[in-house]
C-alpha cells in the first residue's frame, strides 16, 4: 500500500502532504492513523518550528471523509473513526510548533475541519471551502462545529454549517476562515514559508510563548489568561535571546537567536 502521507523538511519547517490525489486526498482510516503518527514524530523533533499541512496535486487539500471507504464501514467503525479524529489529529491544535493549513484546492467537510484544527490557514485563489455534512445527513464530527464557531462567530458558523454552502477563497478570507490568500504569482508553499519566515527564524522561546498564550485565550477567563501571559513573559524575560535582541538593536544588526 502506498503511504498516504508524505513528510519533507525545509529548514525548521516540516511539510506534511496528504498524498491521495486520486481520492481528492480524502481521509481514510489509514490516513488518519498515519497523520497521528506523524504528529508524534514531529513532536519528538525539537527543531520543528512550523508544520505546513497541505494536499498533493492542484485539485484538493482534502475532500473530507473517504466516502468510498465509509460505504463499507459499520456504524461502530464510524464511531471509532470519530474518536480517532480527536485523538490522532488533536496535535494540530496542541503542538509546541505552529501548524498551518496551506489549502491547495477543495477543503470540504473533514478537510476543512483539519484546516480548522491548525493555528493558521492560507489558500490558493481557486480554493473552495465548506462543511457540507448536513447535506449528507450528518454534522461535522471532527471538531468542525466547535472550532468554526470559535473562529468566525456563531452567526457565520451557523450559515455555513446549516446551509453547507461552499465559499471561494475571497469570501473565506473576508469571514476570517483564512488568514491570507497566496497570489497566483507565487507557489503556495513558497508563499506560505515566506509569510511564516518571522516564525521560522524568530526567537524560539518567544515564539512558543506567544503561540501558547494566544491559544489559551479561548479557554481561559480573562484574569486567568492575564496570569498565564505573565507566566510566559517571565520565561522570555529570563531568556538569553531577549538580551541578544536588545544588544542587536543597539548594535544595529540582526539578532542571532539560539533558543536559550
Ligand atoms: N472520498 C472518496 N473519494 C472522493 C471524495 C471523498 N470525499 N471526493 C472525491 N472523491 C473521488 C471521486 O469519487 C472521484 O473518483 P472516481 O474518479 O474514482 O469516481 C475522484 O475523487 C474525483 O472526484 P470528482 O467528483 O470526479 O472530481 P470533481 O473535481 O468534479 O469534484 C469534489 C471534486 C471534491 C468537489 C467532489 O468530488 C465532491 O464534492 N466530493 C465530496 C466531498 C464531500 O462531500 N466531502 C464531505 C464528506 S463529509
- In tens, the pLDDT along 78-121 reads 999 999 999 999 999 999 999 999 999 999 999 999 999 999 99
| Rama region for 176: left / alpha / beta (φ>0; ψ in -120 to 50; rest) | left
CA atoms within a 13 Å half-sphere pointing along the CA-CB vector of 184:
5
Residues framing ligand 1 (Cβ under 6 A):
23-24, 26, 59-60, 63-68, 106, 108-110, 132-133, 136
Q: Active-site residue 133, yes or no?
A: yes
142: burial class by Cβ within 10 Å (0-12, 13-18, 19+)?
A: buried
74: burial class by Cβ within 10 Å (0-12, 13-18, 19+)?
A: exposed
| Average pLDDT of the segment spanning 21-34 | 97
Of ligand 1's listed atoms, the one at least distance from the Cα of 138 is 48
Q: Show the cell assigned to 197.
A: 519566515
Q: Active-site residue 41, yes or no?
A: no
Q: Active-site residue 113, yes or no?
A: yes
Q: Show the cell assigned to 28.
A: 481514510
Of ligand 1's listed atoms, the one at least distance from the Cα of 136 is 48
Distance CA 210, CA 208 (A): 5
The closest alpha carbon to 110, from 159, 147, 149, 163, belongs to: 147
Of the pLDDT bands very low, low, confident and very high (cuts 50, 70, 90), residue 1 is: low
Distance (Å) from CA 192 to ligand 1 centroid: 26
Identify whether the C-beta of residue 126 lies closer than 8 Å to the C-beta of residue 101.
no
Q: Would the pLDDT of 179 be above 90?
A: yes
pTM as predicted: 0.96
- In tens, the pLDDT along 46-65 reads 999 999 999 999 999 999 99
Other CB atoms within 10 A of residue 20 CB: 24
Other CB atoms within 10 A of residue 234 CB: 11
Distance CA 47, CA 67 (A): 36
- Give the active site residue among 113, 130, 142, 245: 113
- In tens, the pLDDT along 125-171 reads 999 999 999 999 999 999 999 999 999 999 999 999 999 999 999 99
Amino acid at each position: 500500500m502506498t503511504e498516504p502521507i508524505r513528510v519533507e523538511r525545509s529548514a525548521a519547517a516540516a511539510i506534511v502532504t496528504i498524498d491521495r490525489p486520486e481520492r481528492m486526498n480524502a481521509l481514510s482510516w489509514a490516513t488518519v492513523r498515519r497523520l497521528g503518527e506523524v504528529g508524534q514524530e514531529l513532536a519528538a523533533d525539537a527543531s520543528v518550528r512550523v508544520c505546513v499541512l497541505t494536499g498533493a496535486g492542484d485539485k484538493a487539500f482534502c475532500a473530507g471523509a473517504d466516502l468510498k471507504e465509509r460505504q463499507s464501514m459499520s456504524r461502530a467503525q464510524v464511531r471509532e473513526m470519530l474518536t480517532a479524529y480527536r485523538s490522532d489529529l488533536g496535535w494540530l491544535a496542541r503542538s509546541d510548533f505552529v501548524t498551518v493549513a496551506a489549502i491547495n484546492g477543495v477543503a470540504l467537510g473533514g478537510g476543512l475541519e483539519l484546516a480548522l484544527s491548525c493555528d493558521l490557514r492560507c489558500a490558493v485563489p481557486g480554493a473552495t471551502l465548506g462543511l457540507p455534512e448536513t447535506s449528507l445527513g450528518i454534522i461535522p464530527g471532527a471538531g468542525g462545529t466547535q472550532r468554526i464557531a470559535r473562529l468566525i462567530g456563531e452567526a457565520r458558523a451557523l450559515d455555513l454549517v446549516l446551509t453547507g454552502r461552499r465559499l471561494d477563497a475571497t469570501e473565506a478570507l473576508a469571514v476570517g476562515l483564512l488568514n491570507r490568500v497566496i497570489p497566483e504569482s507565487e507557489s503556495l508553499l513558497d508563499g506560505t514559508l515566506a509569510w511564516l519566515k518571522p516564525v521560522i527564524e524568530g526567537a524560539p522561546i518567544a515564539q512558543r510563548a506567544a503561540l501558547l498564550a494566544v491559544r489559551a485565550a479561548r479557554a481561559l477567563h480573562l484574569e486567568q489568561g492575564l496570569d498565564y501571559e505573565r507566566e510566559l513573559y517571565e520565561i522570555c524575560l529570563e531568556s538569553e535571546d531577549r538580551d541578544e535582541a536588545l544588544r542587536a538593536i543597539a548594535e544595529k544588526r540582526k539578532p542571532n537567536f539560539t533558543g536559550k
